[in-house]
Amino acid sequence: MKTLTLTLFTSLLVSSLSAQVVPESMADRGTGRAAWLDEAKYGMFIHWGVYSTLANGEWVMCRTRIPVAEYREMASKFNPVKFNADEWVAVAKNAGMKYITITSKHHDGFAMFDSDASEYNIVDYTPFKRDVLQELKDACDKAGIKLGFYYSQTQDWEFPGGAGRKWDDAQKGEFRTYIDTKALPQLKEIMAYDPTHIWFDTPHAMTPELGREFESIVRAADPDCIINSRLMYHGNQVEGLKPAQLEELKDIGVDFLSYRDRTIPPKSPWEYWETCMTLNGAWGYNAKDNNWKTPEQVIMQLTEVVSKGGAFLLNIGPTAEGLIPEQAVKNLEAAGEWLKVNGEAIYGARGTIFQGEGTFITRTAAEQAALDKEALATGAGKKQKGHRQKDYAWLATGREGKLYLHFFQWPTEPFVLHGFDNDKVTGAYFLADARKSAVNIKQEGGTVTIKLPEQPLDELSTVLCLTLGVQK
């Protein structure tokens, strides 16, 4: 928790007089196929493949124009002997994550599972010979973690005709041949592992008809498996989608929106959505990138996403040996400790009327300049729009009958909140206080004044739970 004290802490004026602070329309959700995602809220994204060998991100083949034959040669030596599915799943579990999404085939075309459609896979093409997806599936089932697969449906730099940039004659071919002989058959193959979700990405040259072909393979294998919007639209297109396009997505069978990489959207027109984030600045393993988000940053971003009604998919990139970078494990674990105490304010929690501006910390120009300088020096916030972390003094999540105030900065004065015209605050206690001792609260009409103790209870984020009844 930062020590910066805020003298003008906050006084939020909420104009909507009819709403309860945890609106019922939000509290009532949750009957769709994707309801589990809304409950789970926090997942682990894993980018892992042959590219991990070069320790320079998952785009390295394309960015440095590695010839297909040369990359294949590297693939034939891929041997992640330290991979242990149970250990990875334990990292996710200790982090408080409820699901995993792993790359089954990224744009480099290499399959991390046993594939009949293409021998270019971890079992048939490498000395390792083990089926990574199967091992993870078994480990996830044991641990009670949901497992889904990322699949790059159109972009493929290895198979002739796959979409994407071309720099080698070996890549030339018919797109439809690629779809029929690799993409659709492999989708059928990964469905045999019984995933809870399929996470498509980079939809080049997709048409609604082709989208329906992919969708029908998923649904024929498992009617409950959920599909993200990147079947049809890139992450950066989602915020701009028109109602008719959203309708069409539903019609095609898409279940949840996947927003732009590393961006927490302002709000979403869909009940089910997810945004993905990197723990450092990279998806695939990058040896040079040690710009890890702190546990506090992880908790703040997760809380922000939940406060807006979404789910948070946080990425790690294991090494070519099969290890998750140590610092990543440490930071995730520290955030996981916080979740053990404060999880009820996150899992299955909802948005509230307290969203946006009122929670954004205002800085002097000098303070902002210092932060910008630091961000530039560390690489945070470079290139990727919206990558740099916002800093919140506090955020709110809720559920029926409860409002959770998450304090990232500790108020030095009584904390005043408006907007309780239709709620009666019946009590208040800290989630971190095992005895649930009452916290001093005063309500006058729609205004609630909270007198907080001098010190926060948790360095990462102290959560105060207000119990709510109806104001007569």
Q: Compute the least distance from the CB of residue 408 to ligand GLC, in Å.
A: 26
Pick 32 or 164: Cβ nearer ligand GLC: 164
Quick check: 467 and 401 in contact, CB under 8 A?
A: yes
Pick 61 or 395: Cβ nearer ligand GLC: 61
Q: Compute the least distance from the CB of residue 260 to ligand GLC, in Å.
A: 9
**How many residues bind to ligand GLC according to rule CB under 6 A?**
8
Exposed, middle or buried, 178 (CB in 10 Å: 0-12/13-18/19+)? buried
Pick 157 or 392: Cβ nearer ligand GLC: 157
Pick 156 or 458: Cβ nearer ligand GLC: 156
Q: Compute the least distance from the CB of residue 221 to ligand GLC, in Å.
A: 23
Q: Compute the least distance from the CB of residue 384 to ligand GLC, in Å.
A: 10
Beta strands 42-46 and 311-316, pairing class:
parallel
Pick 111 or 457: Cβ nearer ligand GLC: 111
- Taking CB atoms, the residue at the shortest distance from ligand GLC is 261
Q: Compute the least distance from the CB of residue 47 to ligand GLC, in Å.
A: 6
Pick 202 or 319: Cβ nearer ligand GLC: 202
Work out whether 58 is an interface residue with ligand GLC (CB under 6 A). Answer: yes
The interaxial angle of helices 326-342 and 85-94, nearest 10 deg, is 40
Place of tokens 């990574």: 132
Pick 276 or 345: Cβ nearer ligand GLC: 276
Q: Compute the least distance from the CB of residue 199 to ligand GLC, in Å.
A: 8
Mark 275-304 with x for binding to ligand GLC (rule: CB under 6 A) and - for no binding: -x------x---------------------
Place of tokens 């009617």: 223
Sequence-separated (6 or more) residues with CB below 8 Å from residue 21: 352, 353, 354, 396, 398, 403, 419, 420, 422, 423, 468
By CB under 6 A, the residues from 371 to 430 that bind ligand GLC are none
Residues 306 and 398: their CA atoms lie apart, in Å, by 9
By CB under 6 A, the residues from 195 to 214 that bind ligand GLC are 201-202
Pick 166 or 219: Cβ nearer ligand GLC: 166
Work out whether 46 is an interface residue with ligand GLC (CB under 6 A). Answer: no
Helix (H) or strand (E) holding 24: helix 24-27
Helix (H) or strand (E) holding 213: helix 208-221
The first and second tokens of residue 317, run together, are 């990139």
By CB under 6 A, the residues from 310 to 369 that bind ligand GLC are none
Pick 26 or 136: Cβ nearer ligand GLC: 136
Beta strands 394-399 and 423-430, pairing class:
unpaired
Pick 58 or 289: Cβ nearer ligand GLC: 58
Work out whether 108 is an interface residue with ligand GLC (CB under 6 A). Answer: no
CA angle in degrees (0–180, nearest 5) for 307-337-379: 70
Work out whether 100 is an interface residue with ligand GLC (CB under 6 A). Answer: no
Four-residue CA torsion sign, 334, 337, 338, 344: positive
Sequence-separated (6 or more) residues with CB below 8 Å from residue 154: 162, 163, 164, 175, 179, 183, 202, 203, 204, 205, 206
Q: Compute the least distance from the CB of residue 285 to ligand GLC, in Å.
A: 12
Q: Compute the least distance from the CB of residue 202 to ligand GLC, in Å.
A: 6
Residues 49 and 46: their CA atoms lie apart, in Å, by 10
Sequence-separated (6 or more) residues with CB below 8 Å from residue 402: 22, 465, 466, 467, 468
Q: Compute the least distance from the CB of residue 185 to ligand GLC, in Å.
A: 22
Phi and psi at residue 56, to the nearest 5°: -140, 40
**Type of residue numbered 201:** D
Quick check: 38 and 29 in contact, CB under 8 A?
A: yes
Phi and psi at residue 196, to the nearest 5°: -85, -20
Q: Compute the least distance from the CB of residue 196 to ligand GLC, in Å.
A: 18
What is the chain's alpha carbon radius of gyration, rounded to the nearest angstrom? 23
Work out whether 261 is an interface residue with ligand GLC (CB under 6 A). Answer: yes
Binding region for ligand GLC (CB under 6 A):
47, 58-59, 201-202, 261, 276, 283
